[in-house]
Amino acid sequence: MRALVFSLVSLPMLLLARRLWRLWRETGRAPERWLALFFAGLAVGIPSRVIGVIPDLVAPALQSGFGAFGHLAFALGIAALYGFTRSAFRAEVGWARWLSLAGVTAVGVTTGWVLLAPEARAELHPAVIAANSARVLPFLWPFFECTHHARLMARRREVGLADPVVANRFALWAVWTGALGIFGAVVVAVRLWALSTGSPITGNPEQARWLVPPIVVTGCIVAAAAATAVWLSFFPPKRYLRWLQREAEA
């Protein structure tokens, strides 16, 4: 039952991924394709990692497999995030290509470390911490790009030179990239704290019962909020668009 509840957060992300994929098929724009793959990775990775981390959701023999599958799904999603950032902001810039390649390589190497060494799947193993760290860094790049463009558009909007809908889109993108990045950094910090205090998260079932669920719940909420921000940026309701226009004219 608990696994089902946590997995429900994947539904809006799956719907968003489907809508973005259809939008890509209609327009041929690369950012929509990469975002569809990113949210599909999150939608699959979240329930898999939840099942792999929280004790007693499945048989112990299956728990490690779910965790490994979640790591793989997250890695593929993060690789797609690099594709989104490059295609949306720096498609023609050489250094962006190399940065994306380096980032995807780091994610692939750290995830491979986790998948190829079963003992490395313990939540406080250096491989898991390295993999989580490699997944946090990719959010810094799009957050910087989105924040920079949001500020530019805000200044232009003040003098009537920017579409309020476009300006809001960059702000929404800054929200979801920043929220997911901050949450990922907090997760890494908690793991490092637990490691430094000698308190194994999953090695101690009693500690796992109180420490892991709040992290999972918070992650689900943040992921759902991020999906909402992306949905509003690509598929805004008419009422939301009218509100943006009224705010711009006020």
DSSP the chain: -HHHHHHTTHHHHHHHHHHHHHHHHHH--HHHHHHHHHHHHHHHHHHHHHHHHSTTSS-HHHHHHHHHHHHHHHHHHHHHHHHHHHHHH-TT-HHHHHHHHHHHHHHHHHHHHHHH-GGGGSTTSHHHHHHHHHHHGGGHHHHHHHHHHHHHHHHHHHTT-S-HHHHHHHHHHHHHHHHHHHHHHHHHHHHHHHHHTT--TTTSHHHHHHHHHHHHHHHHHHHHHHHHHHHHHHS--HHHHHHHHHHHH-
Confidence band, pLDDT 50/70/90 cuts, at residue 242: confident
Give the pLDDT confidence score for residue 22 in this predicted structure.
Answer: 93
Q: Domain 2-249: which CATH class?
A: mainly alpha
Give the pLDDT confidence score for residue 3 in this predicted structure.
Answer: 54
Task: Answer whether residue 83 shows pLDDT above 70.
Answer: yes
Task: Answer whether residue 10 shows pLDDT above 80.
Answer: no
Return left, alpha or beta for 162; rule: phi > 0 is left, psi -120 to 50 is alpha, else beta: beta
- The per-residue pLDDT of the chain, averaged, comes to 82
Task: Answer whether residue 205 shows pLDDT above 50.
Answer: no
At 114-142, the pLDDT tens digits run 888 777 667 777 888 889 899 998 999 99
Chain-centroid distance of CA 145 in Å reads 16
Task: Answer whether residue 1 shows pLDDT above 60.
Answer: no
149 touches 166 (CB < 8 A): no
Give the pLDDT confidence score for residue 139 in this predicted structure.
Answer: 92
For the chain, the structural domain boundaries read 2-249
